[in-house]
A = this chain, B = another copy of it.
Amino acid sequence: MTPKLVIVGTVALDDVTTPFGTVNRALGGSAFYGAIAASYWTSVGIVAVVGEDYPEEGRQLLSARGIDIRGLDSSAEKTFAWTGEYSYDLNTAITRETRLNCLLSFNPKVVEHYPSPETLFLANIDPEIQGRILDQLKNRPRLVALDTMNYWIESKKDSLLKVLRRTDLLTINESEARMLTGEYNLVRAADAIRKMGPKIVVLKKGEHGALVFYEGGIFSSPAMPLEIVKDPTGAGDSFAGGLLGYLTRHGKVSPEFLRQAAIVGSAMASFCVSDFGVAGTKDLSMDQISLRTGEFLDLTSFNRIDPGDRRL
């Protein structure tokens, strides 16, 4: 059976240093973080590649969360490895080293393993590959979501614009949205992106939350103010995984579900950053998640203001 949500992306071994510690060869990657966050909400399959050095623990963790790993290729090369560091402000990762390794020959096979996903998330990879994946599929997924990065915006803009036309939802961070559109103002940048194809634009603002732009509305999803933030790695992927998992579970995109989905994404991101790697997201109970989304409601709720009720 094809899982409802299929995520194409990276599975990585990360060396990460933050002011709160260092982890070596931590299980990571966009597909890995995204799939774990999404797995609380719907059936998930991943399409990625790992090398001969990939620890069995990684596959076990995915399977333990019920994630379909038929699409997880094995390569004779080494696993994609990222080394990064965060300084005190925890906002921007400084990449120390990127070893693409087995990613260099990554040829994602979606249709072979998962012929008809309801939702397809093309996480950040070469937009030409993203396009070829869409070409393969006989049935267009109900929802095609895409992520990208500054590198592709600079080096393969035409291919990116082509695949964007076939995309329903784009997750992108502030600076990338500005780079893609040439618009500094985020409202105008989101409008411009919506004209490129994706009817839903999710602008990620890191510790400041996210803005979701859709036909007829904007939703502002806050980030949870946390006393302990240990490692921001994977926060954006966990956000996207939670959001798309929730949308997939409901089988349709309405403003109501989209808003809830953004909060679910923010909740998953808040668990992610509270610990290194996937330690914060891999073993949650639905009670913990429910408590956290309730905290988001409390964080943002206020009663309607009636200025007519003016008492001088």
Contact = CB atoms under 8 A, between A and B. Distances in A.
Interface string A243-285: 0001001100000100110111000000000000000000000
Interface size class of A (residues with CB under 8 A): 35 or more
Interface of A: 4, 40-43, 88-89, 184-188, 191, 205, 208-209, 211, 217-220, 222, 225-229, 246, 249-250, 256, 259-260, 262-264, 286, 289-290, 293-294, 297-308, 310-312
Given A286-B307, A290-B306, A311-B249, A220 B297 contact: no
Given A219-B299, A225-B211, A259-B302, A310 B286 contact: yes
Contacts of A308: 286, 290
A143 B47 CA distance: 58
A35 to B, nearest CB: 15
Nearest to A203: B225
11 contacts: A88-B184, A188-B227, A211-B225, A219-B302, A220-B225, A220-B300, A222-B300, A256-B302, A259-B301, A260-B302, A293-B307
Contacts of A306: 290
Given A310-B41, A310-B286, A263 B302 contact: yes
A227 B187 CA distance: 5
B290 A305 contact: yes
Contact of A290 (B89, B260, B290, B307): B307
Shortest 3 CB-CB distances between A and B: which pairs? Answer: A259-B302, A220-B222, A208-B208
B302 A89 contact: no
Contact of A186 (B88, B225, B299, B301): B225
B302 A297 contact: yes
